[in-house]
Chains A and B, each alone.
Chain A
Amino acid sequence: MVFNSFEFLWLFPIVFCVYYLITSWKVVVRQFPKIGNFFLIAISYGLYIKWKPVYALILLGVTAITYFAALLIEKEKVYGHKRYLIWCGIILAILPLAVFKYYNFLNDTLIALLERVNLEVGLPGLNWVMPLGISFFSFQAVGYLADVYLQRIKAEHDWWNYMLFICFFPQIASGPISKAKDLLPQIKSQRVFRYEQAVQGLKWILWGMFLKVVIADQLGLLVDEVYSNYQHFSGSQCFGRSIMYSFQIYCDFAGYSYMAVGVGELFGFELINNFRRPYLSQSVTEFWHRWHISLSIWLKDYIYIPLGGSRCSVIKNYWNILVTFLISGLWHGANWTFILWGVFHGIFQIIEKHIGINKINSKGILKVCRVLMTFLVVSFLWILFRMPTIHDAFCFVHKIITDFDAHLGLGAYIILFLPVIAKDIIDEFNINSLNFFHHKYAFVRYTTYIVLLLLLVMFGVFDGSHFIYASF
């Protein structure tokens, strides 16, 4: 169920009402205390099967592999055997992801390399659509397995609880990547409907929808116009559109994440919030503490720290940072542009760490300068993210540098950025009087909701657009 679809508009209220009808029915709940969870599993798998039936088997397969592997690991006493089991579990869980996402990339790279030495050898390409959310649920499952192995949590013995943990529909398409210690206790507990939590959920959904269909999708139309034909636009216009893309990807992904959090809240779950005003970061290091937070935590806990983290020599630490962000780039896509994007993010963080700037929290005008600098660096790196090839990305940047004048082509389109920038600043500095979503006067709150909904209806792009991060 795509959150910005018409189907969501009519189907979700039905799902919501049925869920609370059956979980409020005393007779049913006494007989089947877990009826709510079964219902959510049925809905989650139903939606996945509706999208592509056979891929639900992959979801089920990854769930089963990691479930049983965790049980075996917990039962096993010999350390060597535990290591063997964890590696088997990880490889089997990651295998579908590797095949669907990276087979063609590896094949094409191999063919290109062999062609350089005049060898024409290669396997046939795969023309398979990638299973929805495979990068997310695979990482979530592997994270659980690693936590059991490292004895941070106990293995989940209830199959149905674990199944819901992996397949929970609000987060399956584009995250957040939940930790077992956060989500499993909520699945196992008796959740009750709480009015304040449900209202907060609706606010998240409204704001997320606004970011996605009004801001991100409108910006997307403008960005596509130039990025697909950049040779015919000036460097300044290319730069202007790269700024737009920075906001497009933020509003697209944050919009989805907020909607996922909102839907989770409506069912009584507290999912991790993936964004904390990332473009107000003072450094690239801080950016990764505010952008796609769940992925950053996953990479830190399961890649960076196991490699040694910062508890090693300086050179080894820098190496660990580089490897972590190389994997981050690879996770985002099977293309050299994503890998280079990840590597550059790693390099910038290494530089910041070397200078020591990552630990400094500036104030005043220096803070503003650092925020703007970080935004520019991140925006330039997003060019790699957006372009189909490294060559195109470098040509695009070259155009910006060599053909730059004052005419950025932003003009009235700046109005699209303003709501996002304003809300982020209000939240960052806790300016309660301007926080219309949580204003003390009901009139202000309700007016805000109505204005946002009207803007959604008047300006929202509903022409079948997809979430950028859903393609990962």
Chain B
Amino acid sequence: MEAILFMQVSDLRKFIFKAGSFVLCFFLIQHVLGMTLDKLNELTQYNDNGRNRYIRDSINSEIVLLGSSRCYHHFNPQVFEDSLNLSCYNCGERRMGILFMYDRLKTILKRHVPQVVIYEITPDYDLFSESDNSVYIKDLRPYYWKDNMAKEIIDSISSTEKYKLLSRLYGYNGKVVDVIEALFSRQADYNKGQSPKLGSINIETIPSGTENEKEYDSLKLYYINKLIDDCNENNIKLVFTSAPLLGEKHGNVFDKFAKLCVDKNVPFLNHYFDVSISLRPSMYSDAVHLNKIGSDRYSAIIASELKKIIKDEN
């Protein structure tokens, strides 16, 4: 028994020593790789990374468009520029909602105050509760240690991210390919930040559904309110919008949000159930996104309504 216990201790010491050394070695390697990716990220001008850097560091347009892919694909900045005679840039991001967009706006406001912010609301990403909000922090991670707002948002979503982000490399989790790809490929210029979708959806029957309101996420609601307050403080004209969803004719999905907008005196241009577009598959590239024809039409509608709002206020 004594001999067995002695053997166990010496084996255990050897194991812990080797494992500890390995972990230390790995930590150094990943730290160097993380620093390398930081440098590469700063150099990129093209693709999504380049666009992201432009929005964070250089944007100076008078109209800023924010939202998920339903902003990114839907809003044509040129239409707004022609209608309102103000420069415009599409800052939408795929699969991102208010938890990411609020940081995006705050970053822009550090250098530049736009006149107008148009926010395209997507219920699932901006309002409703989901099982896990961690999906929204992927693009914020590289900035955790450099941007206080990114840090605040990440910490409010997950209490363990700050420990994980002690790993320099972890900040680029899910983004390594984007960083490297941006060094070698030259994606065609975005249309002032927009990436319009081409082609039409191929369906035999239009899906019919009634989108109903679900439970709101308190954290998302908190940042929606902060967005409204920050725009008020900076004298920015804030307008919320919602693009038509294929097949949607009616529902109560925005009832609570619409009431919030009324209380806060923020216009909400709700076209979610706009049957002049929602029942026309030729304007859609898939079930949730308008194609170029649909997005130009929708942009024109919003630009026209916004023009009227601005004129009425003046």
Contacts and interface: CB of A to CB of B under 8 A. Distances in A.
Interface of A: 6-7, 10, 17, 20, 23-24, 26, 29, 190, 192-195, 198-199, 202, 229, 231-232, 446, 449-450, 453-454, 457-464
Nearest to B204: A231
A198 B15 CA distance: 8
A20 B12 contact: yes
Interface in B1-21: 1-2, 4-5, 7-9, 11-12, 14-16, 19
A7 B160 CA distance: 9
B131 A464 contact: yes
B170 interface: yes
The 9 lowest CB-CB distance pairs between A and B, nearest first, are A464-B132, A463-B134, A195-B11, A193-B8, A6-B160, A458-B176, A192-B8, A193-B12, A457-B169
A20 B19 CA distance: 15
Interface residues of B, number: 39
B12 A24 contact: yes
Contact of A457 (B173, B203, B286): B173
Nearest to B168: A457
Contact of A454 (B9, B14, B30, B134): B30
A24 B9 contact: yes
B72 to A, nearest CB: 17
Instruction: Say whether chain B's binding surface is mostly helix, strand, loop, or mixed.
Output: helix
A26 B6 CA distance: 9
B203 A464 contact: no
A232 B201 contact: yes
Contacts, number: 78
B167 A192 contact: no
10 contacts: A6-B160, A24-B8, A190-B4, A192-B5, A192-B8, A195-B11, A459-B176, A462-B173, A463-B135, A464-B131
A229 B287 contact: yes
Instruction: Say whether chain A's binding surface is mostly helix, strand, loop, or mixed.
Output: helix
Interface in B167-186: 167, 169-170, 172-174, 176
A370 to B, nearest CB: 36
A458 B172 contact: yes
A462 B132 CA distance: 11
Given A6-B163, A6-B164, A192-B7, A458 B287 contact: no
Interface in B182-211: 201-203, 207
A454 B22 contact: no
Contacts of A7: 160
Contact of A193 (B15, B19, B33, B203): B15
A182 B164 CA distance: 38
A198 B11 CA distance: 10
